[in-house]
Structure 1
Amino acid sequence: MDRADAELLLTSEALTLLDGLPPYRATDNVVQSVSALRDRGVSPEMTRVVLRQRRLRAQAKPKFGDFAARMFFTEIGLQQATRLDVAAHHAARFRALGDITVGDLGCGIGGDSLALAGLGLRVVAIDRDESTAAIATYNLAPFDNASVEQGDAESVDLSRFSALWFDPARRSKDKRLSNPADWSPSLEWVFDVATRIPSGIKLSPAIAHELLPDGVEAQWVEDSGDTVECVVWTGALARPNVARSALILGAESAELTASEPDSGVETGEIGAYVYDPSGAVIRAQLLGTLARQLGANTIASSIAYLSSNQFIHTPFAQAFKVIDIVPLDIRAITQYCRDAGIGILEIKKRGVDIDPATFRTKLKLKGSASATLILTRAGDGRVAIMAERVR
């Protein structure tokens, strides 16, 4: 968002117009929406700004719930913003340090600062982009214990902060920045600062383990089935003897921890049950820890499916009861589904170059029975596991 758009948005006229617009729907006729505002004498620039903001508020609702209707967003800021329930988890860890002042360096639209301020912590939110800082100022206005500054994180006086939160900007306009040196602030600088001041550092869940420094806690977070982030905790914010953790948030919250990465699992046969581990467990390299809890083995090297002859309920994996194993051959699977009357089929896959949607079309399913089809490697070959979901 450029400065001119931000200035338009942060006016009483824009607020009044937004409050009077009907809820956004993806099926809305854009021409009609524009015409309705233009017929009321609204300028083309204001029309564009408020209609875009209405769309962004609707897109933000899965992350911010009802709060989205009273917030402002930028396109990039919303993409990188932390989900509100995940931000609350971050804030709780800072709150455990007591009455502190937190610097949110690279605050974006202020999502994490909202959660920190909501728990009563003093927060200084800083972003180098003028328009983004203005949006964050609006979003944090209800909190007297939160302030916003525009500035470069790497030039800020850090001595006033007891702890720091970093969410390095990994996008420039519509381009994703893959080199950590190009992030704002750069990852090297962030990790250096984090050795001196307790910090939480939000990173992509796909971050390479070799980029993570020694002596930190790296926590992968899954929220409602999505692996959303890796957070590196340092200093007093990190827990003793926890180097890797996988946190599951949702209806059944749970956490798997280890003092070091633990991805080594023996390979064995397909048993009575197959487990599909959480993405957070896989990303955290804790497959070995989970396998020991389940008494399970992998069914092929470098494949994350686990299997055992005993069912053990776990929040860290989806479980499937094995019904049959057939060759991974379209004709064999088609015949099996036809004989079993399977017309409703969930298709999962690992380690095979197959597009499930295309594969489903070729099966020409008919019938009322349902099943799960797991396409994968087992041993040195490829198999199709017919199964039913346990959870």
Structure 2
Amino acid sequence: MSDTTASELAGVLTPEGYRLLNELWRSGDYSTMEPLKLSERLRAEGHQPTVVSSVLTQLKLRTAAEAKFGPFVDQMLFTDAGLQQATPLKVAAHHARRFARAGVDEVIDLGSGLGADALAIAGLDIPVTAVEIDETTAAATTINLMAFPHAKVEVADATQWVQDNPVATDTTRGYWLDPARRKTSSQGTVRIFDPEAFSPPLSFVEDLADVGYALGVKLGPALAHDVVPDTAEAQWVSLHGNVVEAVLWFNMAQRSDVRRAALVIHGLGAAELTSPTDFGHSPQVPVSGIEGATGYLYEPDGAVIRAGLVTDLMVEHFMDGDPTDAAAGRQLDEHIAYFCSDVAKQTPFATGYRIIEVLPYKIKALRRYIKEQGVTRLDIKKRGLDASPEELRRTLMQGLNTKKPASGKHLTIVLTRVGDARYAIVVEPI
């Protein structure tokens, strides 16, 4: 963290600042005032400028954090970078339950950040130690975990802490890791894709796993299948339709009958699709070409796609276990995740659309079609094409009357490639 971040947080680490932050947050008055006017009012009341600045920053961060932490933000402190990288509490709860099922006596959260996962683990009454190398972040984490007497924070390098703290022979320890996957430069932060360049690297994780610890490591959703260790269970997680992470589970934290999984968390709960087979060993299903674009089109959740479970989804949830039933499920192209079915079905693992018409992907023809249909609102989805949906929407809708969208037609177009040809499939949500 920069010195600027440390100074911004310093004001609310004082009794005066923390009390003022919570008073303003609970009253809600801050949300109706311009920040400058609120700053002037607080200074006029005698509060120090450093305290006022810190409080205003935390009010802004708490507001942004509500989507991830809900009511827990009432007692929490944040840094901007830490909030961006923090695990949403709904996701962290699933991590914590893994360790609970593994029956561990304690969990060490290496590289804890602001302590989202440690918070969820402590909430299940499991003793947790949050290890964070940055002192500023660790100070915020200490506040975030202070409601749990069995949670503590230590400022240390993750790899060094493991060396200095061997596990007691009568203790079953679990480890949770969220390696740093960004490198800071003068131009900002740059994402790192090489697992050995993570901090700590993936090899360090595998060394811990070899010892036999119950272990989970959070990685980016773009994790390549060929770097997943043979000894791990790989689980991709989506939250409200966005793939947020890939997690590798080892030893007691993994499931013996699962090699890859897609966990889909939504407003009503969660659902999971799993497979015991390795990557590249999903069932084969019929591939129809564009002729099969009839009935209903389905777009699998991103976690299902990332986990390589598209055809598993088709066979299990649409084809009743019969991978030859083309009427129940067929791919248009084996390299594209969209699939079609004669069956209209609601599933948490895919979004379904009724197919209205199939058109060639030609701009002039599409503009003419949209004008003839009286379209005033257009949604574009795509897969297998380089086109930008936003730019294409502007091009297709240019010159059309979109001032009164309620009076016109709402159209959804799915752009896809089938073989070497490109198509625009006109659909409506089921």
| TM-score of Structure 1 vs Structure 2, range by shorter chain | over 0.9
Q: Could you tell me how far 1:252 is from its partner in structure 2?
A: 5.2
| Contact persistence 2:11–2:52 (CA under 8 A) | no
Counting only pairs closer than 5 Å after superposition, residues 132-171 of structure 1 correspond to structure 2 as: 132-156=137-161, 157-160=165-168, 162-171=173-182
| Alpha carbons of structure 1 residues 194 and 6: separation in structure 2 relative to 1, 3 Å | farther
| Contact persistence 1:177–1:183 (CA under 8 A) | no
| Alpha carbons of structure 1 residues 158 and 345: separation in structure 2 relative to 1, 3 Å | farther
Measure the CA separation in 2 of the matches of 1:167 and 1:274: 37
Deviation by residue 1:11-66 (Cα, 9 ceiling, x = unmatched):
111112213434665x9744334333333343333332222111111111000001
| Contact persistence 2:30–2:38 (CA under 8 A) | no
Runs of at least 5 residues in structure 1 that lack an aligned partner in the other structure:
none
Report the counterpart of residue 258 of structure 1 in structure 2: 275
| Contact persistence 2:99–2:214 (CA under 8 A) | no
Report the counterpart of residue 273 of structure 1 in structure 2: 296
Deviation by residue 1:81-140 (Cα, 9 ceiling, x = unmatched):
111111111111111123611111111111111111111111111111111111111111
Residue-pair matches, total:
389
Q: 339-348 vs 222-231, which deviates more?
A: 339-348
Report the counterpart of residue 101 of structure 1 in structure 2: 106
| Contact persistence 1:252–1:315 (CA under 8 A) | no
Counting only pairs closer than 5 Å after superposition, residues 231-246 of structure 1 correspond to structure 2 as: 231-246=247-262
| Alpha carbons of structure 1 residues 28 and 359: separation in structure 2 relative to 1, 3 Å | farther
Measure the CA separation in 2 of the matches of 1:195 and 1:307: 43
| Contact persistence 1:127–1:153 (CA under 8 A) | yes
Measure the CA separation in 1 of the matches of 2:35 and 2:71: 24
Tell me whether 1:224 sits opposite 2:240 in the alignment: yes
Normalised by the length of structure 1, the TM-score is 0.92
The 3-state SS of whatever aligns with 1:253 is: strand
Of the three residues 9, 12, 19, the one matched with 1:9 is: 12
Measure the CA separation in 2 of the matches of 1:95 and 1:266: 42
The 3-state SS of whatever aligns with 1:289 is: helix
Report the counterpart of residue 313 of structure 2 in structure 1: 290
Report the counterpart of residue 205 of structure 2 in structure 1: 190
Q: Could you tell me how far 1:333 is from its partner in structure 2?
A: 1.9
Q: 61-70 vs 348-357, which deviates more?
A: 348-357
Measure the CA separation in 1 of the matches of 2:308 and 2:226: 12
Measure the CA separation in 2 of the matches of 1:361 and 1:172: 36
Q: Could you tell me how far 1:217 is from its partner in structure 2?
A: 0.5
Deviation by residue 1:269-318 (Cα, 9 ceiling, x = unmatched):
32321110100011111122123233423223422111223333322111
Of the three residues 181, 184, 188, the one matched with 2:196 is: 181
Deviation by residue 1:199-230 (Cα, 9 ceiling, x = unmatched):
01111111122221112100001111111111
| Alpha carbons of structure 1 residues 92 and 58: separation in structure 2 relative to 1, 3 Å | same
Task: Report the AA paired with residue 13 of structure 1.
Answer: E
Measure the CA separation in 2 of the matches of 1:337 and 1:7: 57
Tell me whether 1:369 sits opposite 2:409 in the alignment: yes
Q: Could you tell me how far 1:347 is from its partner in structure 2?
A: 1.3
Measure the CA separation in 2 of the matches of 1:23 and 1:334: 49
Q: Could you tell me how far 1:253 is from its partner in structure 2?
A: 2.3
Q: 201-210 vs 340-349, which deviates more?
A: 340-349
The 3-state SS of whatever aligns with 1:159 is: coil
| Alpha carbons of structure 1 residues 88 and 352: separation in structure 2 relative to 1, 3 Å | same
Q: What's the RMSD between the two structures over aligned residues?
A: 2.2
Counting only pairs closer than 5 Å after superposition, residues 331-350 of structure 1 correspond to structure 2 as: 331-350=364-383
Tell me whether 1:87 sits opposite 2:92 in the alignment: yes
Measure the CA separation in 2 of the matches of 1:282 and 1:320: 18
Measure the CA separation in 1 of the matches of 2:346 and 2:273: 14
| Contact persistence 1:345–1:371 (CA under 8 A) | yes
| Contact persistence 2:11–2:53 (CA under 8 A) | no
Report the counterpart of residue 404 of structure 2 in structure 1: none
| Alpha carbons of structure 1 residues 308 and 379: separation in structure 2 relative to 1, 3 Å | farther
Measure the CA separation in 2 of the matches of 1:28 and 1:344: 35
Q: Could you tell me how far 1:5 is from its partner in structure 2?
A: 4.3
Normalised by the length of structure 2, the TM-score is 0.84
Measure the CA separation in 1 of the matches of 2:200 and 2:76: 25
Measure the CA separation in 1 of the matches of 2:248 and 2:263: 13
Counting only pairs closer than 5 Å after superposition, residues 293-332 of structure 1 correspond to structure 2 as: 293=316, 294=318, 295-332=328-365
Measure the CA separation in 2 of the matches of 1:333 and 1:301: 26
The 3-state SS of whatever aligns with 2:392 is: helix
Task: Report the AA paired with residue 166 of structure 1.
Answer: L
Q: 313-322 vs 291-300, which deviates more?
A: 291-300
Measure the CA separation in 2 of the matches of 1:183 and 1:229: 15
Report the counterpart of residue 55 of structure 1 in structure 2: 60
Task: Report the AA paired with residue 198 of structure 2.
Answer: W
Counting only pairs closer than 5 Å after superposition, residues 193-212 of structure 1 correspond to structure 2 as: 193-196=208-211, 197-212=213-228
Task: Report the AA paired with residue 275 of structure 1.
Answer: Y
| Contact persistence 2:298–2:350 (CA under 8 A) | yes
Measure the CA separation in 2 of the matches of 1:358 and 1:7: 44
